[in-house]
């Protein structure tokens, strides 16, 4: 069996462009729920938002690095975990937070702020934590990842649709009211279908190497959820807001992770399998957690 660090998955440039487009549509579908007033409201009570962003961009990367040091996985797998932890919250987190009885408005705002912050923080966290660990530092040097290029990719794929969605919601709320629900379901359906097709094109690799990452991804996702809950608890947030922060930290934008892996790391096997497995598992764990939490109403 070829070592996972030497495997390059099948993913054409056309497929990468399609994934970019899908993620842009998903982000646009979230942005049409937002108005500038949402951001102003958070400015008057910023603690939940600040706690959530700290949980995503500080607590989760630190915990991930500790996990890598403790378990010492193969380098490409370790870098895959670091990269996923460096991504902003996943788009489906808003839906899952709503199902869990948490503060969906806070979740949407966290996604928006984290997406904007990801222009700088995602490439920074990949470079910073990846270079602290010798095996992943070797991969980063070999690929010569350019933080500016990563920032441009994130900006065009996530931030531009975010701005366009907010503008449309302000200018033509009648249109966004009609688009909101069907667009969210269609965009998520297309994204899930794309992940399934991408897995099918690399199914043999996935079967060979999924066993190497399954336990790590489950543990990593559990740490992410626990880190979100702990951060929100230490910040003294209400259960209503705590649910949003917990889920937002545990649902990562693995689609963005795949774009970065195929765009900058040439589809490196261990990284891609980690991101793909995350993309499947965090939906299952998030929906399972939402079902459990929804059985009791959260105090506000």
110: CATH: 1.20.1530.20
Cβ atoms 106, 242 nearer than 8 A: no
Question: Given this model, what pLDDT does residue 62 score?
Answer: 97
Cβ atoms 38, 228 nearer than 8 A: no
Question: Given this model, what pLDDT does residue 88 score?
Answer: 87
Give pLDDT < 70 ranges for the chain: 1-17, 19, 38-39, 41-42, 91, 144-146, 191, 194-195, 197-207
Residue 261 domain-assigned (yes or no): yes
Residue 70 domain-assigned (yes or no): yes
Residue 31 domain-assigned (yes or no): yes
Residue 7 domain-assigned (yes or no): no
User: Mapping DSSP to helix (H, G, I), strand (E, B) and coil, where does residue 292 land?
Assistant: helix
Question: Given this model, what pLDDT does residue 144 score?
Answer: 65
Residue 46 domain-assigned (yes or no): yes
Cβ atoms 144, 266 nearer than 8 A: no
Using CA atoms, how far apart are residues 295 and 14, in angstroms rounded to an integer? Answer: 44
Q: How many helices, marked H, and strands, marked E, lie in the chain? A: 15, 0
Question: Given this model, what pLDDT does residue 16 score?
Answer: 62
Question: Given this model, what pLDDT does residue 149 score?
Answer: 75
Using CA atoms, how far apart are residues 122 and 79, in angstroms rounded to an integer? Answer: 13
How many domains is the chain partitioned into structurally? Answer: 1
Residue 234 domain-assigned (yes or no): yes
Residue 97: which domain range? 12-293
Cβ atoms 252, 122 nearer than 8 A: no
Residue 6 domain-assigned (yes or no): no
Residue 299 domain-assigned (yes or no): no
């Amino acid at each position: 069996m070829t070592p996972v660090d030497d495997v390059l998955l099948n993913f054409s440039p056309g497929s990468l462009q399609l994934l970019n487009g899908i993620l842009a549509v998903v982000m646009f579908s979230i942005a049409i729920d937002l108005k500038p007033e949402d951001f102003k409201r958070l400015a008057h009570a910023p603690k939940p938002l600040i706690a959530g962003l700290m949980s995503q961009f500080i607590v989760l990367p630190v915990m991930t690095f500790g996990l890598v040091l403790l378990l010492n996985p193969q380098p490409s797998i370790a870098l895959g975990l670091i990269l996923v932890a460096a991504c902003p919250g996943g788009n489906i987190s808003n839906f899952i937070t709503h199902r869990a009885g948490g503060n969906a408005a806070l979740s949407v705002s966290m996604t928006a702020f984290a997406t904007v912050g990801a222009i700088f923080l995602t490439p920074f966290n990949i470079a910073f934590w990846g270079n602290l660990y010798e095996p992943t530092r070797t991969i980063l040097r070999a690929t010569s990842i350019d933080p500016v290029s990563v920032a441009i990719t994130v900006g065009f794929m996530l931030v531009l649709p975010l701005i366009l969605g907010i503008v449309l919601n302000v200018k033509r709320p009648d249109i966004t009211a009609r688009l909101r629900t069907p667009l969210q379901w269609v965009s998520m359906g297309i994204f899930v279908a794309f992940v399934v097709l991408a897995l099918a094109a690399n199914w043999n690799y996935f079967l060979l190497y999924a066993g190497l990452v399954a336990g790590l991804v489950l543990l990593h996702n559990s740490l992410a959820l626990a880190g979100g809950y702990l951060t929100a608890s230490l910040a003294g947030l209400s259960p209503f807001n705590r649910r949003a922060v917990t889920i937002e930290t545990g649902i990562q934008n693995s689609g963005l992770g795949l774009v970065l892996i195929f765009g900058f790391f040439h589809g490196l096997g261990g990284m891609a399998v980690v991101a793909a497995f995350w993309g499947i598992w965090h939906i299952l764990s998030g929906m399972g957690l939402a079902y459990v939490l929804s059985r009791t109403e959260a105090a506000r």
